[in-house]
Structure formats: C-alpha cells, structure tokens
Amino acid sequence: MTSQPELLLERVFGHRAFRGEQGEIVRHVAAGHDALVLMPTGGGKSLCYQLPALLREGTAIVVSPLIALMQDQVDALCQLGVRAACLNSTLDAAQAQAVERQLLEGGLDLLYVAPERLLTPRFLSLMDRARLALFAIDEAHCVSQWGHDFRPEYRELTVLHERWPDVPRIALTATADPPTQREIAERLQLEDARRFVTSFDRPNIRYTVVQKDNAKRQLLDFVQGHPGQAGIVYCLSRRKVEETAEYLAGHGIDAVPYHAGMEAPLRAANQRRFLRGDGVVVVATIAFGMGIDKPDVRFVAHVDLPKSIEGYYQETGRAGRDGEPSDAWMCYGLGDLVLLRQMIEQSESGPERKRLEHRKLDALVGYCESMRCRRQVLLGNFGETYPGACGNCDNCLSPPEAWDATEAARMALSCVYRTGQRFGAAHLIDVLRGSDSERVRQFGHDRLSVHGVGTGLDARTWRGVFRQLVAHGLLEVDAEGHGGLHLTGASRSVLRGEQPVMLRRVVVQRERAARGRAG
C-alpha cells in the first residue's frame, strides 16, 4: 500500500517519487519534529514543507524574504488545488483582511509571510487564534550576519519557538558552509533539530575558469559555443550589464539586460522573455536569479569576479536544473581582484567585517587559481569531500601545467620595489618589457636596472604572473588609489631567492578546446 506522503506527492504535485531525502524530511516534519534542511538550489526544498503542510492539520506559516516570489509560489500552489495565500506589503488593507479571515477560518493550507509582517503584534496575536500546522523558515541563511543576505528580522524568529513550542519548525537554505550552518542552528534555536544535508555537488555542471584577456571577445566566443541556448551572464555593474548586452546583441545573440536600475516594466518584460523564450541570454547583475526556476538554463557566465565562493556557487547553480549538461564559465583577471579589494576597503563596514570579506574573496581566488579539480575545491568550501577528480571541469579535462616562475617572480617583485611600490601591473609590465613610453620615461623608470629585464616573456604571461603573485599573497593591492601593488611579508624570501615559485601556465583560448563536449 502506498503511504500518505507518496500518494499526495503524486496526486497533488504530479511527481512519481521523492528526490533524495525529501521523503524522510516530509515524514519527520509531518510527525511534528524540527528540521534543518541544507539542499542546493533546485534540489526541491519547497516540497519539504508544502507536503507536511497538507499532511498536518491547520495552516503552515512560511517565512520568506522574497516578496517578489511569494505570489509566484502561491499561484503555482493554487493551480495544483492547494489553498495558499500570502501576506505582504503588496496587498491593500481589504485584501490583507480577507487573507486573515481565511487563516482564522482554517481555510488555508499555507500562508506565506514576509518576516517583518510576521513579527508585528497584530500578526502574532492572529496566529494565537489560528490553528498552526508548522513554521517553515525559507532562506534561513538570512539569519547570518556574515552571509550575503543578512536580514535583521530573522534574528527575532526565535519568538516562534518561544510562543508556540509545540509547532514544528523547518528551516531551509541553499547556502551552508559549516560556520553558517552552525550560526543558523544557534540563532534560530534549532540545535536539537535533525539536520538533513544533501550533497552540494551538481555533477552536470562543467566548471571552467579562463584568464581575462579580452573579456567581451572571450565571452562572445563562449556564448557562440552555445547556439540557441538559454544562459545567464553576470556582471558587477549596471553599466557593464548594458554594454555587454548591447555587444552580444550586436553580434547576433538574442541577449537582453536585467538590473535593478531599469524601468520595472522593461525589466519584467526581459525576465519574461528569458523565462518563456527559446535561447534567450540574459545579462544581469546579481539582482537577477533569486528564485528563478527555469530548468533549461544551459550556461552561467561570469565576466566579473563574484564576491564570494558561496555567491558563485548559488549563481552557477541556476544552470542545468534539469540535470542536462551545462556550463559554468568564468573569465577572471587581476583587475577584478583589484576592484573587489578596493570595494571592500572603501565600504562602510567595520574592520572585522572587512577582514571576513577579504577572506571570502581569498577563498574564491583560491578556487580560480587552483590547479586541482575545481569540484573538489568548490565542495571543499562547503565542508564536503569529493572523492577523486571529477572529469568534468577544465582542470580535469586539460590538466594545467605548472612552470618554474621563480626568476620571473623575483623580477616582478624587484620591479615593484624599485618603482616605489605604488604602480599597477600594466605599468610594471611596461617597465619589465623595456617600454620607452612617455609614462615610463616621465618617472625615470627607463633608467632602472629592472627596465627591460623581462623581455623573455610576453605581456599576457606577465599579467598571469602578477595576478598569481597577488592571489598567492606575494603582492598586495593598495587599499586606496588605483591598483598600485606593494610587497608583503611573504615577498622577502622570494626576492632573496630562498623560495621557489611555481605558477600555472596561461593557456590561450583554453575555452575553445574545453568547449567541444563529447556526445
């Protein structure tokens, strides 16, 4: 005989079987126990509270910070015949009252609320008079002050446990490195909740990182390798979004921009085109994507470095939700690193927060520079050990070559030192390569002993050297100013020739080679 959960899964949601631990989670919560669910984006978290909501008497209260997406979720549920509604600032007073009435009359299976609404005395007393099936706390990482979506109101959600100790709670998130996991459990008083941790591996996604050389051209080559396929291109700034979308469109790609500074109707229209159209490429800031449920996104490209490895993982996770082969491609250079370091330094954050953000960036840079299997590095950041090499990332498919860059590193570091530790990589490379440009002569750098010592390497290789020296902590970017580089404590032993430096060899047009997917 089929058990109740399976029956409802098929009847209501039309799914034949649970995915991964869904079944376990549903039974656990339906039986009245607390749960902390860590599951990657697209893993099927919603079902973990929607089904128990139907199995238990009363209304499930779903706390979600994403007001824009609540209505979509509610519409989808209503279409399945589930009695769902939401309460947020987009409703007028009469609409809100109607929803409240439904709640009190027991006419709702699920009610989605924004946290600030939930915490009002009015809503709390309303819940006192309603029959509650469970509390679902979606995007639970918002409770973490160090996460990228911190919501102070999430800290106050402990009131749910204090006021309704018998109502089971399920907290869900897709962002969960071990420290964030601990913080969620602690802040939401879920230490005793059972934890369900799904592997964060997305085996169908192929990870590739290329050195930035001519980013637009490199992007175009990459996108042209996916003809007629839907994809997302992430940029850091609105201006870059506009420029990049225009550039792609000018080269025959069906590309549209998306960022928070656009007129709302146009933005919505572009999103619709992307969701409904075939093979539309959306160029966006990270404002785009939260909760976007398009299964056949074939690639996610980053032309700018994201701010953290968690962010990178979430953004790339929007590719290939249907399980079909997909690409996560990133184009990265020293300029990205310089820019992000400066953004952190110049932000309003306190020193502790800045240190943390630098560390997060370091982890991502470590991923970019790694010569190991990318999947191992990525999952390692979530506390997961991936056995062996994955065979589906650039480093596995065409193992990078290391070269002995000890001499080059010494030249680069002494060039930094001799020029007074305040110039950026472009100028330093000019000096090393013996340029007699106006600027080089103006500073008298043509008379330095390091002038022209580096003609044996081309400019591209030198850019790779400087980038990796920064990534490995042998050079540092100035906090203010314009990308000036200075020595670090670690530089000294290299300068003295006491420490060998092995660097990754730059492979030109790696992406062309990696693109030809078998089958």
Contact positions vs ligand ADP (CB under 6 A): 15, 18-19, 22, 39, 41-47, 293
- Would you list the DSSP string of 134-184? EEEE-SGGGG-TTSTT--GGGGGGHHHHHH-TTS-EEEEES---HHHHHHH
For 138-254, strand residue ranges (E) read: 169-173, 194-197, 205-211, 231-234
Residue 45 or 226: the one with the smaller Cβ distance to ligand ADP is 45
Residue 182 Cα distances to 62, 75, 175, 317, angstroms: 22, 34, 12, 23
390 binds, among ligand ADP, Zn ion, none (CB under 5 to 8 A by kind): Zn ion
Q: Could you say which of ligand ADP, Zn ion, none residue 320 binds, taking C-beta under 5 to 8 angstroms by partner kind?
A: none
Cβ contacts of 7-11, under 8 Å, gap ≥ 24: 8/51, 8/54, 8/55, 9/47, 9/51
114 vs 396, beta carbon nearer Zn ion: 396
- Minimum Å distance from CB 39 to ligand ADP? 5
Q: Binding to Zn ion by residue 373, rule CB under 5 A?
A: yes
Dihedral sign, CA of 157, 160, 165, 171?
negative
- Closer to ligand ADP by CB, 73 or 414: give it: 73
326-332 vs 299-302, strand pairing mode: parallel
In whole angstroms, the minimum distance from the beta carbon of 440 to ligand ADP comes to: 53
Instruction: Name the residue nearer to ligand ADP (CB basis): 193 or 425.
Output: 193
Q: Report whether 343 contacts 337 (CB < 8 A).
A: no
Q: Which does 46 bind (CB under 5 to 8 A by kind): Zn ion, ligand ADP, none?
A: ligand ADP
Q: Which is nearer to ligand ADP, 296 or 345 (CB)?
A: 296
State the nearest-atom distance from the C-beta of 208 to Zn ion, in Å. Answer: 10
**At closest approach, how far in Å is the CB of 376 from Zn ion?**
7
Stretch of 52-60, 151-159, 296-304, 383-391 contacting Zn ion, by CB under 5 A: 383-391
Minimum gap (Å) between residue 442 Cβ and ligand ADP:
56
Q: Which is nearer to Zn ion, 394 or 478 (CB)?
A: 394
Determine, following the binding rule CB under 5 A, whether residue 393 of this chain makes contact with Zn ion. Answer: yes
* DSSP for residue 393: B
Q: What is the contact mask toward Zn ion in residues 238 to 257, using x (rule: CB under 5 A)?
A: --------------------
In the list ligand ADP, Zn ion, none, the entry touching 19 (Cβ below 5 to 8 angstroms by class) is ligand ADP
Tokens representing 457?
């390497």
Q: Shortest distance, CB of residue 285 to ligand ADP, whole angstroms?
A: 20
Q: How many Cβ atoms sit within 10 Å of the Cβ of residue 352?
A: 9
CB of 61 closer than 8 Å to CB of 136: yes
What single-letter DSSP state applies at residue 330?
E
Nearer to ligand ADP, 74 or 305 (CB): 74
The Cα-based distances of 2 to 5, 9, 10, 21, 245 in angstroms read 8, 11, 11, 18, 51
Of 295 and 399, CB closest to Zn ion: 399
For residue 320 the two structure tokens come to: 């290939």
CB of 509 to Zn ion, least distance (A): 20
- Contact (Cβ atoms closer than 8 angstroms) between residue 90 and residue 67: yes
Beta-strand ranges (E) seen in 340-442 are 402-404
Nearer to ligand ADP, 22 or 211 (CB): 22
The piece of 69-77, 92-100, 134-142, 387-395 that touches Zn ion (CB under 5 A) is 387-395
- Closest approach of ligand ADP to the CB of residue 114, in Å: 17
Structural tokens at position 41: 């984006």
Residues that contact Zn ion, how many (by CB under 5 A): 5
Residue 512 contacts which entry, ligand ADP, Zn ion, none (Cβ below 5-8 A, type-dependent): none
Of the pair 154, 466, the CB lying nearest ligand ADP is at 154
> How far apart, in whole angstroms, are the C-alpha atoms of residue 184 and residue 100?
29
44 binds, among ligand ADP, Zn ion, none (CB under 5 to 8 A by kind): ligand ADP
Q: Pick one of 390, 409, 412, 471: the residue that binds Zn ion (CB under 5 A).
A: 390
- 205 close to 315: Cβ distance less than 8 angstroms: no
CA atoms of 201 and 353, how far apart (whole Å): 29
- Least distance in angstroms from the C-beta of 320 to ligand ADP: 12
Strands 299-302 and 231-234: parallel
What's 399's DSSP letter? P
**Is 396 a binder of Zn ion (CB under 5 A)?**
yes
Span interacting with Zn ion, options 79-87, 284-292, 384-392, 401-409, rule CB under 5 A: 384-392
Partner that binds at residue 333, options Zn ion, ligand ADP, none, CB closer than 5 to 8 Å by kind: none
Helix, strand, coil distribution of the chain in percent, nearest 5: 45, 15, 40
Whole-number minimum distance, CB 386 to Zn ion, in Å? Answer: 8
Token pair 């970017």: residue? 477
Residues lying near Zn ion in the complex (CB under 5 A) are found at: 373, 375, 390, 393, 396
